[in-house]
Amino acid sequence: TIIKNLVWKPTSTYETTRSVWDYFVDSYRSNYGRANNATDITLRGIGKEHIVTNSSWNFENTLNYSFKKGESDFNILLGNSYQKYRFTKNQIEGTGFPLELRTLDLSQMMVTTVADTYQVMRDKNYVSFFGRLTYNLKDRYIVNGVFRATGASQLAENHKWGYFPGISGAWVISNENFLSENKTISELKLRGGWGQTGNIQSLGEYSWYSLLPENAYVNENGTQNAVNYENKDLTWETTSDFDLGIDVAVINNRIKLSADVYKRITDNLLNTFPINGVNFLYNSGKLENKGLELTLNTINIEGDFTWNTNFNISFMENKILEMGVQPVNYYGYGGVNRVEVNQPLGNFYGFVVDRVNPTNGILEYKDVNGDGNITGSDRTIIGNALPDYTFGFTNNFSYKGFSLDIMFTGSEGNDIFNASRIDLEGMVNSKNQSVAVLDRWTTAGQVTDIPKAGQSNFNGISSVANSSRWVEDGSYIRLKVTTLGYDFKNPFLGLTSLKLYATGQNLVTWTKYSGFDPEVSASNNNNGTGMGIDYGTYPQVKTVIFGLKARF
């Protein structure tokens, strides 16, 4: 405290992680390690070691001044921060190890390969200045204004700084005189706000430069295999967010409901455009998200036995308003995700399956454009990865020392492109197949939805092309987490508290999806353009944890 009501708060944090990866094939026990029985012993045995370190520093200073004048409360905050991220990598690889060596010992390596021993160091730096002013009148009318300016080292010379304002307000109606004595309404508040934020999360350390990779080489025509080209206009991706909300609580806060409607527009989207096989990073495009979010909290039973419930549900619509140099683009497995203006993200694009011809067992597609031929022009939107809504439902029970917490999560209306089935049901190569192919067409007149084995084409279109055959309903309900515990009221051995508990995760899932896990990754790339694709996705595991918490 510098003077009355003026508080200076400096903070500093440092985090570091270090990972070591090593690899060793000895010189004796395998033909690979013996380099196909090479007479040159310097070729025998393979050893590698990679050491990666990630470090981050954060220094922040804030000055907070608050004062009261009459029925008005003021709070002013000013601050600045500095963040630094550093990535380093040391790598060494080589050959020529003694015959008797069975574990990696780089000191006994005869020949160093892979461009000798080298170190890579990459830095990212951020500087921010920010402020906030809050005004509260009679605990009824609240206005909050914020402003933040942030500079980032990844961006081009004249575009490093982004400026992000915001303003919000609330009216606590339940504190008005005409409601202050109301015994039914515990809280009634209207909220609203607008603000902007910036994003460069996907950008590498030197994204605006013309870069070469670590193993770049130069031939007589110049440097080859560049990473990306220079862009002196690379700048912040900016999101403008508008929100209106209401909070209602009744019966001594036993029932609380919150509702929010929002509209979010992201401009100057960060995109990558390939030029001669080299990435060009640039800003272009505009994306709109809007939706409704509801949260309901209830205290159902109080006393020795208590029961509380929380339910939340979220509805969202998404639309691409503008795109960059490519008005239509494709992402994901075989380009199944189609991105275009006035369409949502997550669209699946392909052929519509008509039937398996019972005469010859060939999978036939629909003539969507009606021209009498089946061509690439008959591809259309065959699904979308975005759900109509997502939800969570939690119940907390307690009785004396026992407690039980149960949480369900789920989504409705989203599709999944099950690309794993293309390998497992395609029957066009030597890969192992699933039991689903036992229902394949085998005899003239047979009615089935799985075509005959072998590469069967319909008007030149393969039976394993991206089509509605692989699109499935991804809706699900999952018992996400459940915890049963017991708190000992009178711990022994000098303990102040003691709790035994068991937690289960992902125990039960209800879904029509045929793959391992309907909760597949929402995106298979950094910018969300490839969505809802399951291609060998590792499922979330069922986990049971037994625990003991003790305090002395």
Q: Are 329 and 349 in contact (CB under 8 A)?
A: no
Tokens of 275: 């030029």
Nearest to 79 by CA among 129, 6, 27, 127: 129
Residue 523 has pLDDT above 50, yes or no: no
| Three-state SS at 43 | helix
Nearest to 146 by CA among 162, 160, 128, 134: 134
**DSSP string spanning 419-484?**
THHHHHH--SSSS---GGGGGS--STT---SS--SS--EETTEETTSSBGGGEEE--EEEEEEEEE
Q: Looking at residues 174-179, what average pLDDT do you find? A: 89
Q: Indicate the range of 36-40, 274-278, 401-405 predicted with least confidence.
A: 274-278
In the numeric block, the tokens 């209401």 are attached to: 246
Nearest to 102 by CA among 38, 24, 21: 24
**Rounded CA gap, 519 and 145, in Å?**
38
Q: How many CB atoms lie within 10 A of CB 347?
A: 22
Which 8-state DSSP code applies to residue 178? H
| This prediction's pTM | 0.81
Cβ density class 458-487: b for 16+ within 10 Å, e for less: beebebbbbbbbbbbbbbbbbbbbbbebeb
Nearest to 193 by CA among 134, 148, 244: 244
- Report percent pLDDT > 70 for the chain: 95
**Rounded CA gap, 411 and 532, in Å?**
13
| pLDDT tens-digit map of 69-83 | 999 999 999 999 999
| pLDDT tens-digit map of 319-340 | 999 987 778 888 888 899 999 9
Residue 120 has pLDDT above 80, yes or no: no
| pLDDT tens-digit map of 181-195 | 888 899 999 999 999
**Rounded CA gap, 283 and 482, in Å?**
44
**Rounded CA gap, 276 and 516, in Å?**
39
pLDDT at 504: 97
Q: Indicate the range of 152-156, 164-168, 230-234, 493-497 predicted with least confidence.
A: 493-497
Confidence of residue 435 (pLDDT cuts 50, 70, 90): very high
Q: Are 126 and 82 in contact (CB under 8 A)?
A: yes
Q: Residue 180 is inside which H or E element, if any?
A: helix 177-180
Confidence of residue 144 (pLDDT cuts 50, 70, 90): very high
Q: Indicate the range of 127-136, 171-180, 346-355, 379-388 predicted with least confidence.
A: 171-180
The count of C-alpha atoms lying within 13 angstroms of the C-alpha of 528, restricted to the half-sphere facing its C-beta, is 11
The residues pairing with 142 across neighbouring beta strands, listed in sequence order, are 136, 170
| pLDDT tens-digit map of 287-308 | 999 999 999 999 999 999 999 9
The average confidence (pLDDT) of the chain is 90
Q: Residue 177 is inside which H or E element, if any?
A: helix 177-180
Let me know the angle formed at the C-alpha of 60 by 55 and 64, rounded to the nearest 5 degrees.
160
**Rounded CA gap, 293 and 234, in Å?**
34
Nearest to 476 by CA among 523, 508, 504, 503: 508
Residue 122 has pLDDT above 90, yes or no: no
Residue 491 has pLDDT above 90, yes or no: no
